[in-house]
Every structure is written in structure tokens, then in C-alpha cells.
Amino acid sequence: MTDHVDTAWAPAGEARDGHRPIPASSAWRPGDHPGQRRFAHVGVIPLEGDPRGELDVTLAYETWGELNEARDNAVYVAHAFTGDSHVVGAAGPGHLTGGWWEDLVGPGKVIDTDRYFVVSANVVGGCQGSTGPAHPHPEDGRPWGSSFPYVTLHDQVVAEARLADLLGVDVWALVIGPSMGGMRAVEWAATFPERVRAIGAIGTTAATTADQISWHAAQAAAIRLDPGFHGGDYYDRPDGEGPHHGLGLARVIAHTTYRSAPELNERFGRSVQDGDPLRPEGFFAVESYLDHHADKLARRFDANAYLRMLHAINTHDVGRGRGGVEAALSRYEGEALVVAIDSDRLFPLSDAERLAGALPRAELVVLHSEIGHDGFLVPESGLNDAVAGLLDRVAVGAAA
């Protein structure tokens, strides 16, 4: 992605260019403009982490295209960590940012919405319309906050399967996603193998590693140690007094893992953004770039939801309770595309190799990109060609 380096996040909760103070939570909440979201009450789901636990779930989702008469042209796009259902479409009321995968999805694109019925939903525990920590608790109408359960990717996929039922989708032609979305594609293959004809797992893993968990631990600590976090119950705090410090710092840590060292060095080097770097007030350009991303995330996300997503990723192990990764995926008979980016330091090639080796009909594609993990967002990386090849192997009928 192309980012500006001339906007910096300020510790006082107000951007250096004079933007308004950062809200205590930037979650979408009932009463906000829905944008292109639709809402589906999928019912009560059991919670994997609590044998006695359950959660009544509503999912916010978007669709493009039409389900054909044979109902064999449905594609599910699973969003990444801080993503949402807005895969395609302009920014505007209800959507602070434009579609995040428009290079791949849309009319005439590889995932052609004139041919496919494309669906994407915000995950359970997220903050862009689906049931999550910022949502009203059913008992008192106040945000769930700290009392919202910690869900797993399996829980999220169970909810997505309920949505598929409501939409009349018995079998997905393809479930595809990057990063955390790729994890859910893998979970779909293990949990509902008969309902998925192909998966696309982009820049992801079959089971989260200790290295990945360690990066996440630092991010979680940054949020929890922010005095504005208030133990997770901060929704009534004024703008500028929420946990934006910790949330922004978590994003700085995360974003560093999303880019490669060569890319950062080539792009910024030791360029100075402001002041004298020999003095404490000096500011390197790369610091400004990271602070820009901290500010951006704090203005569109929620700290509690961030922690729930970290937990879901940390507990990801498709082999849990299934005899291991290889046993879990051996019964999936559909096509699989596993994509690795050669400069990805968060999900290295070894993760993709293990995942592809466990899937009986997997194609492993290694893309060259200087960017790192975020290389899947760059159209010239070769991802579009790889996905087109996968779809060629999964013939579907015409759209309705």
C-alpha cells in the first residue's frame, strides 16, 4: 500500500495536523449509518473456549452479485485482523475507508461480481457491525466491554456457516482470505469440508507459532497498560480519553511486522521528518509513518475488539482436537491455493509449506514482493493470477 509520511499521531489524542480528538472507541454501533451493511441474526452459537458458554450473534455483512439458480457460484471473502465486510465500494457514510480488496474483487475482476455471488461478513468479536464488545449487552443495553467473551476462529466460522444457511448457500465455490482471513478459510476446510469446493489461504498458517504469539503479546500489553483502557470498560469516556495510546502502539508493533526490513529501509532510510534526530524531539520519517498508521487505526477500530482478534489468532490451531494439523486437513477433498510472500516475516514460507503439505490438493505459490506480509494487497504481486488459476479449476454456472 502507499501511505503518506507527513501525518503523525500525537500522544494527547489529537493528530499533529489538528484533527479532532480520537474517540474512546471507533467501533460501529447500532444507530450509526449502516452504509452497505446488511444484518443477519444467526442465533445462539456455542463457544469453543467455554463448554457452558454461548453467544447470541448478529453478523454485519455485504454482498455483491447474485446467487445463480444452481447455487454454485457463491464466494466467501474472509477479512484479515482489522478488516471488515467492506471488500468493495467507496468510502462514505458508514464506511470510513474504501473497499480493501478491490484489485481482486469486483465487476470484471478476477473474482468477478458479474459472475459470482460474493459475501463477506465482519467476524464475531469485531467492531464493524457484528456482535462484539462495543455492542449493547442484552441485559442492560450498555456495551459489553470487558465482559464480552473471548471467541476463537472456530466460533467465528460456525457463525459464518449460519449466515451461509440464511443466504441459501449450501456449498461455497471458494472461501478465500488473507492473514486471519486465510486462517478462517483453513478452519472452514476442517470444520465444514463438504461445504467448500476450494479455499484460498493467503499469507497465513495452519497453527499460530510462538514467534507470532510473542508479537501479539506485546500488542496486548500495550492496550491493557494504557490508563485509558479502564480494564476494558471505557465506552463512556470522552473523546481523547480512551485507550488510543495503547491501541496506536499496538498498531505500530503490528505494522512493523507487516512490512519487510528491506522495504522500510529503501523507502525511508534514515530520513528525518522533523527536528534534529540528535535531540530527543527529533523525529525520523519512519516514525511519522508508523504514527500515521497508529492514528488511522485508532479512528476506525476498538481496543477490546483488537484484544479479541489477538486471542482468536493466538488460539488458532486447525489440528486442535482433531489429531493434529495433518489429520485435520487430510479429509478435505477440495482444491486449495496456499500463497506465501517471500519477504513475509510474520508468516514465513515455512508456515505455508506446512499448510500446503497437509492439504491433499494444494498448490503452493510463492510471490516475490519487497513489501512483506502486506504484499497480498499489491496487485502486481502476482496474487491475481494465482487466484484466477484456482477459479479455473472450480467451474461454476452462470450468475442469475
Known binding-site residue numbers for substrate: 251, 374
Active-site hit among 293, 302, 373, 381: 373
Is 248 within 8 Å of 291 (Cβ atoms)?
yes
Whole-number Å distance between alpha carbons of 383 and 123 = 24
How is residue 145 annotated by DSSP? G
Give CA–CA dist 271/286, Å, rounded. 8
Q: Which residues are annotated as a binding site?
A: 251, 374
Q: For the chain, what's the residue count?
A: 400
CA torsion 93-96-99-101 (nearest 10°) is: -160
Classified as helix, coil or strand, 49 is coil
d(CA 228, CA 234): 7
Instruction: Reply yes or no on whether 373 is catalytic.
Output: yes
**Could you say which of 26, 85, 120, 179 is catalytic?**
179
179 is catalytic: yes
Alpha-carbon distance of 141 to 214, in angstroms, equals: 36
Give buried/exposed letters for 5-24 (b at 16+ CB in 10 A, else e): bebbbbeebbbbeeeebbbb
- Please identify which of the residues 84, 112, 317, 344 carries the catalytic annotation: 344
**25 part of the active site:** no
Q: Under a CB-based contact definition with an 8 Å cutoff, are residues 159 and 61 in contact?
A: no
Which amino acids are annotated catalytic?
179, 344, 373
